[in-house]
Amino acid sequence: MVTVSNDTQFVHLAWHRSEKELAGVQFSMGADPTGKLGRMFGVYDDGSGLTLRGTFIINPQGQLMNSEVNFYNLGRNIDELMRKFKANLYLSKKTNEGCPSKWKDEGDATLTPGPEMVGRVHEALEAQKKTPAKV
Amino acid sequence: MDAPLSPLGVGSHVPDFEINTYEPKTKGFGKFNLAAQKAGGRWSILFFYPADFTFV
Specify the pLDDT at position A114: 85
Residue of B42, B48, B55 to mutate for A, most A C-beta atoms under 10 A: B48
Ranges of each domain in chain A: 2-76, 79-130
| Closest chain A residue by Cα to residue B13 | A63
In this structure, CATH architecture of domain A2-76: 3-Layer(aba) Sandwich (3.40)
- Flag if A64 and B11 touch (Cβ within 8 Å): yes
Residues of chain B scoring pLDDT < 50: 1, 3-4
- Flag if A9 and B12 touch (Cβ within 8 Å): no
Tell me the pLDDT tens digit for each residue of A4-63: 999 999 999 999 999 998 988 899 999 999 999 999 999 999 999 999 999 999 999 999
Q: What is the 3-state secondary structure (H, E, C) of chain A?
A: CEEEECCCHHHHHHHHHHCHHHCCCCCEEEECCCCHHHHHCCCEECCCCEECEEEEEECCCCEEEEEEEECCCCCCCHHHHHHHHHHHHHHHHCCCCECCCCCCCCCCCCECCCHHHCCCHHHHHHHHHHCCCCC
Q: What is the pTM of this model?
A: 0.87
Specify the pLDDT at position A122: 87
Specify the pLDDT at position A120: 87
| Closest chain A residue by Cα to residue B34 | A62
ipTM given for this complex: 0.89
| Closest chain B residue by Cα to residue A1 | B45
> CA of B23 to nearest chain A CA: how many angstroms apart?
5
> CA of A129 to nearest chain B CA: how many angstroms apart?
31
Tell me the pLDDT tens digit for each residue of A60-107: 999 999 999 999 999 999 999 999 999 999 999 999 999 999 999 998
Put simply, the chain A residues between 91 and 130 with a CB less than 8 A from any chain B CB are none
Tell me the pLDDT tens digit for each residue of A109-135: 898 888 888 888 888 888 877 765 555
Put simply, the chain A residues between 76 and 95 with a CB less than 8 A from any chain B CB are 81, 85, 88-89
- Flag if A1 and B4 touch (Cβ within 8 Å): no
Counting one residue from chain A and one from chain B, the pairs whose CB atoms sit within 8 A come to 165
Instruction: List C-alpha distances in Å: A4 to A63, B18, B46.
Output: 19, 12, 7
